Protein backbone atom coordinates (compact mmCIF):
# COMPACT_ATOMS: atom_id res chain seq x y z
CA UNK A 1 0.00 0.00 0.00
CA UNK A 2 2.77 2.44 0.97
CA UNK A 3 4.74 1.75 -2.22
CA UNK A 4 1.66 2.57 -4.32
CA UNK A 5 1.22 5.84 -2.40
CA UNK A 6 4.85 6.79 -3.02
CA UNK A 7 4.58 5.96 -6.73
CA UNK A 8 1.46 8.10 -7.07
CA UNK A 9 3.15 10.93 -5.17
CA UNK A 10 6.12 10.94 -7.55
CA UNK A 11 3.81 11.23 -10.51
CA UNK A 12 1.98 14.26 -9.10
CA UNK A 13 4.86 16.36 -7.75
CA UNK A 14 8.61 16.88 -8.11
CA UNK A 15 8.75 18.23 -4.53
CA UNK A 16 8.69 16.21 -1.32
CA UNK A 17 8.27 17.46 2.25
CA UNK A 18 9.86 15.53 5.12
CA UNK A 19 8.76 16.04 8.75
CA UNK A 20 10.22 14.58 11.95
CA UNK A 21 6.86 13.23 13.13
CA UNK A 22 3.23 14.28 12.94
CA UNK A 23 1.72 13.00 16.17
CA UNK A 24 1.10 16.28 18.00
CA UNK A 25 -0.02 19.81 17.28
CA UNK A 26 2.80 22.26 17.88
CA UNK A 27 4.76 25.00 16.15
CA UNK A 28 6.90 22.64 14.04
CA UNK A 29 3.79 20.83 12.84
CA UNK A 30 2.16 24.16 11.98
CA UNK A 31 5.11 24.99 9.72
CA UNK A 32 4.52 21.68 7.91
CA UNK A 33 0.87 22.69 7.47
CA UNK A 34 1.90 26.00 5.88
CA UNK A 35 4.46 24.25 3.65
CA UNK A 36 1.62 22.01 2.51
CA UNK A 37 -0.39 25.12 1.57
CA UNK A 38 2.60 26.36 -0.44
CA UNK A 39 3.26 23.00 -2.14
CA UNK A 40 -0.17 21.31 -2.08
CA UNK A 41 0.76 18.49 -4.48
CA UNK A 42 3.92 17.56 -2.56
CA UNK A 43 3.65 14.37 -0.49
CA UNK A 44 4.65 14.61 3.16
CA UNK A 45 6.94 11.87 4.44
CA UNK A 46 7.26 11.36 8.19
CA UNK A 47 8.22 8.74 10.76
CA UNK A 48 4.92 8.44 12.63
CA UNK A 49 1.45 9.88 12.16
CA UNK A 50 -1.56 10.50 14.39
CA UNK A 51 -4.31 11.88 12.16
CA UNK A 52 -6.40 12.94 15.14
CA UNK A 53 -3.67 15.41 16.14
CA UNK A 54 -3.18 17.11 12.77
CA UNK A 55 -3.64 20.82 12.22
CA UNK A 56 -6.74 21.35 10.00
CA UNK A 57 -4.76 22.30 6.85
CA UNK A 58 -3.05 18.89 6.96
CA UNK A 59 -6.18 16.77 7.18
CA UNK A 60 -6.49 16.39 3.41
CA UNK A 61 -2.76 16.14 2.74
CA UNK A 62 -1.07 13.07 1.28
CA UNK A 63 1.00 11.95 4.29
CA UNK A 64 3.14 8.83 4.10
CA UNK A 65 4.39 7.49 7.46
CA UNK A 66 7.34 5.12 7.75
CA UNK A 67 7.42 1.48 8.84
CA UNK A 68 7.43 2.78 12.42
CA UNK A 69 3.68 3.32 12.12
CA UNK A 70 3.21 -0.43 12.74
CA UNK A 71 5.12 -0.50 16.04
CA UNK A 72 2.99 -1.54 19.05
CA UNK A 73 1.79 1.08 21.54
CA UNK A 74 3.13 3.88 19.38
CA UNK A 75 0.62 6.54 20.39
CA UNK A 76 1.45 6.24 24.08
CA UNK A 77 5.10 5.17 23.99
CA UNK A 78 6.47 7.01 20.96
CA UNK A 79 9.37 8.47 22.99
CA UNK A 80 10.63 5.00 23.91
CA UNK A 81 11.32 4.22 20.26
CA UNK A 82 13.99 6.94 19.97
CA UNK A 83 16.68 4.87 18.17
CA UNK A 84 14.22 3.83 15.44
CA UNK A 85 13.56 7.39 14.23
CA UNK A 86 17.08 7.65 12.84
CA UNK A 87 16.63 4.43 10.83
CA UNK A 88 13.18 5.45 9.63
CA UNK A 89 14.36 8.80 8.26
CA UNK A 90 17.36 7.17 6.55
CA UNK A 91 15.09 4.70 4.74
CA UNK A 92 12.63 7.17 3.25
CA UNK A 93 12.91 6.70 -0.50
CA UNK A 94 12.95 10.11 -2.18
CA UNK A 95 13.97 8.86 -5.62
CA UNK A 96 12.38 10.93 -8.37
CA UNK A 97 11.97 14.17 -6.43
CA UNK A 98 13.90 17.26 -7.52
CA UNK A 99 13.30 19.30 -4.38
CA UNK A 100 13.25 18.00 -0.80
CA UNK A 101 12.10 20.36 1.95
CA UNK A 102 12.66 19.07 5.47
CA UNK A 103 11.08 20.61 8.54
CA UNK A 104 13.42 19.51 11.29
CA UNK A 105 13.84 19.85 15.01
CA UNK A 106 15.25 16.34 15.39
CA UNK A 107 15.57 13.83 12.53
CA UNK A 108 14.21 15.13 9.21
CA UNK A 109 17.47 16.85 8.24
CA UNK A 110 18.89 13.32 7.76
CA UNK A 111 16.63 12.58 4.80
CA UNK A 112 18.61 11.40 1.76
CA UNK A 113 17.88 13.62 -1.23
CA UNK A 114 18.57 11.83 -4.53
CA UNK A 115 21.54 12.82 -6.67
CA UNK A 116 20.90 16.10 -8.47
CA UNK A 117 18.07 17.14 -6.15
CA UNK A 118 18.15 20.13 -3.81
CA UNK A 119 17.55 19.57 -0.09
CA UNK A 120 16.45 22.68 1.83
CA UNK A 121 16.07 22.32 5.59
CA UNK A 122 13.85 24.61 7.62
CA UNK A 123 15.45 24.06 11.02
CA UNK A 124 13.49 24.78 14.20
CA UNK A 125 16.58 23.82 16.21
CA UNK A 126 19.27 21.16 16.27
CA UNK A 127 17.70 18.48 18.45
CA UNK A 128 17.60 19.80 22.01
CA UNK A 129 17.48 16.36 23.61
CA UNK A 130 20.75 15.50 21.82
CA UNK A 131 22.77 18.70 22.12
CA UNK A 132 21.41 19.98 25.46
CA UNK A 133 20.48 16.67 27.06
CA UNK A 134 21.55 17.57 30.60
CA UNK A 135 19.44 20.71 30.54
CA UNK A 136 16.61 18.88 28.78
CA UNK A 137 16.52 16.10 31.42
CA UNK A 138 17.53 18.02 34.54
CA UNK A 139 14.00 18.39 35.88
CA UNK A 140 12.55 15.22 34.36
CA UNK A 141 11.83 12.26 36.64
CA UNK A 142 14.20 9.67 35.17
CA UNK A 143 15.69 6.67 36.99
CA UNK A 144 19.51 7.03 37.34
CA UNK A 145 20.11 3.79 35.41
CA UNK A 146 17.81 4.94 32.60
CA UNK A 147 19.55 8.31 32.62
CA UNK A 148 22.92 6.56 32.14
CA UNK A 149 21.61 4.50 29.24
CA UNK A 150 20.08 7.63 27.71
CA UNK A 151 23.39 9.46 27.89
CA UNK A 152 25.06 6.69 25.88
CA UNK A 153 22.27 6.62 23.33
CA UNK A 154 22.40 10.40 23.02
CA UNK A 155 26.17 10.30 22.48
CA UNK A 156 25.45 8.20 19.38
CA UNK A 157 22.68 10.62 18.50
CA UNK A 158 25.13 13.53 18.53
CA UNK A 159 27.48 11.70 16.17
CA UNK A 160 24.58 10.88 13.84
CA UNK A 161 23.18 14.40 13.99
CA UNK A 162 26.51 16.06 13.33
CA UNK A 163 27.04 13.86 10.29
CA UNK A 164 23.49 14.35 9.03
CA UNK A 165 23.89 18.10 9.39
CA UNK A 166 25.85 17.94 6.14
CA UNK A 167 22.99 16.46 4.12
CA UNK A 168 20.83 19.57 3.55
CA UNK A 169 22.30 21.77 0.85
CA UNK A 170 20.82 24.92 2.39
CA UNK A 171 19.43 25.90 5.80
CA UNK A 172 16.81 28.35 6.95
CA UNK A 173 16.56 28.91 10.71
CA UNK A 174 13.51 30.07 12.61
CA UNK A 175 15.48 32.54 14.78
CA UNK A 176 18.87 34.14 15.18
CA UNK A 177 19.60 31.92 18.19
CA UNK A 178 18.88 28.79 16.14
CA UNK A 179 21.09 30.04 13.29
CA UNK A 180 23.94 30.33 15.82
CA UNK A 181 23.17 26.79 17.05
CA UNK A 182 23.28 25.43 13.50
CA UNK A 183 26.70 27.02 13.04
CA UNK A 184 27.92 25.55 16.35
CA UNK A 185 26.53 22.04 15.84
CA UNK A 186 26.92 21.53 12.09
CA UNK A 187 29.36 24.22 10.97
CA UNK A 188 26.76 25.51 8.50
CA UNK A 189 25.34 28.95 7.76
CA UNK A 190 21.60 29.59 7.87
CA UNK A 191 19.31 32.38 6.72
CA UNK A 192 16.84 33.48 9.40
CA UNK A 193 13.21 33.18 8.27
CA UNK A 194 10.79 33.52 11.20
CA UNK A 195 8.06 30.85 11.24
CA UNK A 196 4.51 31.62 10.10
CA UNK A 197 2.12 32.85 12.77
CA UNK A 198 -1.59 32.94 11.97
CA UNK A 199 -1.98 36.46 13.33
CA UNK A 200 -5.34 36.82 11.58
CA UNK A 201 -6.84 34.63 14.33
CA UNK A 202 -6.06 37.32 16.90
CA UNK A 203 -7.31 40.83 17.51
CA UNK A 204 -6.94 43.57 20.09
CA UNK A 205 -9.50 43.41 22.90
CA UNK A 206 -11.27 46.18 24.78
CA UNK A 207 -8.68 46.26 27.53
CA UNK A 208 -6.50 44.00 29.64
CA UNK A 209 -7.99 41.90 32.39
CA UNK A 210 -6.31 40.90 35.63
CA UNK A 211 -4.87 37.52 34.69
CA UNK A 212 -1.47 36.71 33.26
CA UNK A 213 -1.18 33.89 30.78
CA UNK A 214 1.12 30.98 29.92
CA UNK A 215 0.51 29.04 26.69
CA UNK A 216 3.00 26.21 26.43
CA UNK A 217 3.70 22.52 26.36
CA UNK A 218 4.30 21.54 29.97
CA UNK A 219 7.79 20.11 29.59
CA UNK A 220 10.37 20.68 32.30
CA UNK A 221 12.78 22.69 30.12
CA UNK A 222 10.03 25.25 29.43
CA UNK A 223 10.57 26.45 33.05
CA UNK A 224 6.88 26.92 33.81
CA UNK A 225 7.91 26.19 37.42
CA UNK A 226 9.46 29.68 37.54
CA UNK A 227 6.13 31.23 36.52
CA UNK A 228 4.16 29.20 39.08
CA UNK A 229 6.51 30.13 41.93
CA UNK A 230 6.70 33.78 40.87
CA UNK A 231 2.92 34.18 40.78
CA UNK A 232 2.56 32.35 44.08
CA UNK A 233 4.78 35.11 45.45
CA UNK A 234 3.16 37.96 43.51
CA UNK A 235 -0.36 36.78 44.38
CA UNK A 236 -1.49 37.69 40.87
CA UNK A 237 -3.81 35.40 38.87
CA UNK A 238 -1.97 33.20 36.36
CA UNK A 239 -3.77 30.97 33.84
CA UNK A 240 -1.71 28.13 32.37
CA UNK A 241 -2.89 26.64 29.07
CA UNK A 242 -1.29 23.46 27.79
CA UNK A 243 -0.58 19.83 28.52
CA UNK A 244 2.61 17.87 29.07
CA UNK A 245 4.48 15.43 31.28
CA UNK A 246 5.39 18.05 33.89
CA UNK A 247 1.81 19.08 34.66
CA UNK A 248 1.36 17.04 37.86
CA UNK A 249 4.60 18.35 39.36
CA UNK A 250 3.61 21.91 38.50
CA UNK A 251 0.14 21.55 39.99
CA UNK A 252 1.65 20.29 43.24
CA UNK A 253 3.58 23.55 43.65
CA UNK A 254 0.83 25.98 42.68
CA UNK A 255 -0.94 28.32 45.09
CA UNK A 256 -4.53 29.62 44.94
CA UNK A 257 -3.72 32.27 42.33
CA UNK A 258 -2.52 29.80 39.69
CA UNK A 259 -4.98 27.88 37.52
CA UNK A 260 -4.22 25.06 35.07
CA UNK A 261 -6.68 24.80 32.19
CA UNK A 262 -5.01 21.99 30.22
CA UNK A 263 -5.94 21.84 26.57
CA UNK A 264 -8.64 24.36 25.64
CA UNK A 265 -10.41 25.03 22.31
CA UNK A 266 -8.77 27.54 19.98
CA UNK A 267 -11.50 30.16 20.44
CA UNK A 268 -10.95 30.16 24.20
CA UNK A 269 -7.20 30.56 23.73
CA UNK A 270 -7.82 33.58 21.49
CA UNK A 271 -10.08 35.12 24.16
CA UNK A 272 -7.53 34.45 26.89
CA UNK A 273 -4.89 36.31 24.87
CA UNK A 274 -7.24 39.25 24.26
CA UNK A 275 -8.13 39.59 27.94
CA UNK A 276 -4.81 38.84 29.64
CA UNK A 277 -2.64 41.48 31.22
CA UNK A 278 0.47 39.92 29.65
CA UNK A 279 1.87 36.64 28.40
CA UNK A 280 4.59 35.02 30.50
CA UNK A 281 7.30 33.06 28.66
CA UNK A 282 9.78 31.96 31.36
CA UNK A 283 11.96 29.46 29.46
CA UNK A 284 14.37 29.81 26.57
CA UNK A 285 12.40 29.19 23.39
CA UNK A 286 13.79 28.35 19.97
CA UNK A 287 11.38 30.94 18.58
CA UNK A 288 8.31 31.23 20.81
CA UNK A 289 5.19 31.56 18.67
CA UNK A 290 3.12 32.40 21.77
CA UNK A 291 4.97 35.73 22.08
CA UNK A 292 3.83 36.74 18.58
CA UNK A 293 0.27 35.51 19.24
CA UNK A 294 0.17 37.73 22.34
CA UNK A 295 1.52 40.67 20.36
CA UNK A 296 -1.11 40.08 17.65
CA UNK A 297 -3.65 40.44 20.48
CA UNK A 298 -2.07 43.73 21.57
CA UNK A 299 -0.71 42.27 24.79
CA UNK A 300 2.87 42.64 26.06
CA UNK A 301 5.14 39.72 26.97
CA UNK A 302 7.29 38.99 30.00
CA UNK A 303 10.01 36.76 28.58
CA UNK A 304 13.35 35.25 29.47
CA UNK A 305 15.91 37.23 27.48
CA UNK A 306 17.44 34.40 25.48
CA UNK A 307 16.74 32.31 22.41
CA UNK A 308 13.91 33.30 20.11
CA UNK A 309 12.56 35.97 22.44
CA UNK A 310 15.44 38.20 21.37
CA UNK A 311 13.92 38.25 17.86
CA UNK A 312 10.32 38.85 18.95
CA UNK A 313 10.36 40.92 22.17
CA UNK A 314 11.84 44.41 22.31
CA UNK A 315 12.24 45.47 25.92
CA UNK A 316 10.00 48.44 26.67
CA UNK A 317 8.25 48.29 23.27
CA UNK A 318 6.20 45.11 23.28
CA UNK A 319 7.28 43.55 26.55
CA UNK A 320 9.88 43.11 29.25
CA UNK A 321 12.92 40.81 29.20
CA UNK A 322 14.63 39.33 32.24
CA UNK A 323 18.18 38.01 32.01
CA UNK A 324 18.42 35.48 34.85
CA UNK A 325 16.23 32.33 34.91
CA UNK A 326 15.14 32.79 38.51
CA UNK A 327 11.94 33.49 40.45
CA UNK A 328 13.28 36.82 41.73
CA UNK A 329 14.16 38.01 38.23
CA UNK A 330 10.74 37.06 36.90
CA UNK A 331 8.97 38.78 39.81
CA UNK A 332 10.99 41.95 39.17
CA UNK A 333 10.14 41.81 35.45
CA UNK A 334 6.40 41.54 36.15
CA UNK A 335 6.58 44.48 38.52
CA UNK A 336 8.46 46.49 35.89
CA UNK A 337 5.82 45.64 33.29
CA UNK A 338 3.08 46.89 35.62
CA UNK A 339 4.78 50.26 36.01
CA UNK A 340 4.57 50.97 32.28
CA UNK A 341 1.72 51.95 29.97
CA UNK A 342 1.41 49.83 26.85
CA UNK A 343 -0.02 50.76 23.45
CA UNK A 344 -1.88 47.65 22.22
CA UNK A 345 -2.18 48.88 18.63
CA UNK A 346 1.55 49.54 18.36
CA UNK A 347 2.21 46.08 19.77
CA UNK A 348 -0.18 44.56 17.25
CA UNK A 349 1.49 46.39 14.35
CA UNK A 350 4.84 44.88 15.30
CA UNK A 351 3.42 41.37 14.94
CA UNK A 352 2.65 41.82 11.23
CA UNK A 353 6.19 40.89 10.16
CA UNK A 354 5.61 37.35 11.47
CA UNK A 355 2.47 36.68 9.42
CA UNK A 356 1.85 33.57 7.32
CA UNK A 357 1.96 35.71 4.16
CA UNK A 358 5.35 37.10 5.16
CA UNK A 359 6.74 33.60 5.76
CA UNK A 360 5.43 32.31 2.44
CA UNK A 361 6.95 35.20 0.51
CA UNK A 362 10.35 34.89 2.20
CA UNK A 363 10.50 31.10 1.97
CA UNK A 364 9.44 31.05 -1.70
CA UNK A 365 12.19 33.55 -2.49
CA UNK A 366 14.71 31.47 -0.53
CA UNK A 367 13.73 28.29 -2.40
CA UNK A 368 13.87 30.05 -5.77
CA UNK A 369 17.35 31.41 -4.99
CA UNK A 370 18.80 28.14 -3.67
CA UNK A 371 17.41 25.58 -6.11
CA UNK A 372 20.11 26.41 -8.63
CA UNK A 373 22.90 26.92 -6.04
CA UNK A 374 25.71 24.33 -5.81
CA UNK A 375 25.27 21.63 -3.19
CA UNK A 376 27.61 20.68 -0.37
CA UNK A 377 29.21 17.29 0.19
CA UNK A 378 27.14 14.86 2.22
CA UNK A 379 28.70 13.99 5.55
CA UNK A 380 29.48 10.30 6.22
CA UNK A 381 27.33 8.24 8.52
CA UNK A 382 29.17 7.69 11.83
CA UNK A 383 30.25 4.21 12.78
In this structure, the answer to whether residues 185 and 228 fall within a common structural domain is: no
In this structure, the answer to whether residues 152 and 115 fall within a common structural domain is: yes
Span 282-293, pLDDT tens digits: 999 999 999 999
Residues composing the chain: 383
Q: How many CB atoms lie within 10 A of CB 379?
A: 15
Query: Does the pLDDT of residue 137 top 60, yes or no?
Result: no
Query: Does the pLDDT of residue 122 top 90, yes or no?
Result: yes
In this structure, the answer to whether residues 203 and 350 fall within a common structural domain is: yes
Position 17 in a domain: yes
Position 168 in a domain: yes
In this structure, the answer to whether residues 216 and 180 fall within a common structural domain is: no
In this structure, the answer to whether residues 55 and 127 fall within a common structural domain is: yes
In this structure, the answer to whether residues 162 and 286 fall within a common structural domain is: no
Strands 118-123 and 99-104: parallel
In this structure, the answer to whether residues 177 and 213 fall within a common structural domain is: no
Query: Does the pLDDT of residue 276 top 60, yes or no?
Result: yes
Enter the pTM of the model: 0.86
Position 383 in a domain: no
Span 26-65, pLDDT tens digits: 889 999 999 999 999 999 999 999 999 999 999 999 999 9
Domains: count for the chain: 2
Position 379 in a domain: no
Position 378 in a domain: no
In this structure, the answer to whether residues 181 and 270 fall within a common structural domain is: no
Position 106 in a domain: yes
Strands 278-281 and 212-215: parallel
In this structure, the answer to whether residues 160 and 63 fall within a common structural domain is: yes
In this structure, the answer to whether residues 219 and 328 fall within a common structural domain is: yes
Position 376 in a domain: no
Domain limits at 22?
2-196+357-370
Amino acid sequence: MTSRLVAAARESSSTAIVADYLNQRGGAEWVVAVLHEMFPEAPIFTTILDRDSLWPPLRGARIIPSWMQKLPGLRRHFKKYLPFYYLAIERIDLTGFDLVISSSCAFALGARAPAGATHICYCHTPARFIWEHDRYLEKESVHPLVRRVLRRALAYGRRWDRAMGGRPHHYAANSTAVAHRIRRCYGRDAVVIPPPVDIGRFSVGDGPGDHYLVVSRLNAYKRIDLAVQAFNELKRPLVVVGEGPHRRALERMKGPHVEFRGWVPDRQVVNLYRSCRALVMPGEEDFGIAAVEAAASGRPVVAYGGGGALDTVVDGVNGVLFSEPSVDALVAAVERLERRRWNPWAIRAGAERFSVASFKARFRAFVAEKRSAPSVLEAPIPA
